[in-house]
Structure 1
Amino acid sequence: MQQQVVPMIHVPDVGATIDWYSCLGFRLRDQGKEGGGEIVWAALTCGNGEVMLSAGGTARTARRREIDLYIFVEDVDTLCQSLKGRVEFVEDLHDTFYGMREFIIRDLNRFWITFGQPMRK
């Protein structure tokens, strides 16, 4: 039996969150609506990964939220440059002590998204 962990993030507005993540290249795999047509659940894919969104989250102003997403990419430098001026940066592009080159942004719900690539030796 194959096992896979898929994070579920509770957000105030699932539809707006789908739109925001779609601008980063995520694809909508599935969604669920309530009787009034409001989107209350969605599954988004990014490469081999998946994340689910569920209605009911609350807006917060804390520096960090309860969950962060970490996305491995092949060209972190180019991606970072393409997002400048379009999203809120938490940390600009930098090399880490654990061998990754990465940067951190916030999504519209204030969750952190780190994009990373192993440093070349």
Structure 2
Amino acid sequence: MEAPQFPKGILPVLPVANIDETADYYMNSLQFQENFRQKSPEGQSVNAQLTLEGSTLMINLNPDKAPLEGGGVYLWVRLYEKNIDEYYNSLVEAGVNIADPIKDQFWGDRSFTIQDRNNFFIAFNQMIAK
């Protein structure tokens, strides 16, 4: 299977309690197209990427944040040129509030999440060379 493609720039992510129901709703009711649906090693859908007229949206299995007002929306920034570890260390050094420390993810990314001064969550991720 070909690796999922991520758009350059900022990717809005909607935390949801059920990926399959949400992705089907976006496709069947809102006319989005599915780019991919990702499953955990146990076979549970954990992410889906959807598009509509060139705009890309990611839905992420995160039942703890799904019921928050506004759905707990956060943003993903895909790094292509920066070294993610150096970038992470520079943010830690600058005193940035790290919500989730840097770690390797099972789907092949290395990522971390910050909480900015306005309490928005921004996740930074980079594909790990395999």
Instruction: Indicate the TM-score class for this superposition, using the shorter chain for normalisation.
Output: 0.3 to 0.5
Greater percentage in helix: 2
| TM-score after normalising by structure 2 | 0.43
| TM-score after normalising by structure 1 | 0.46
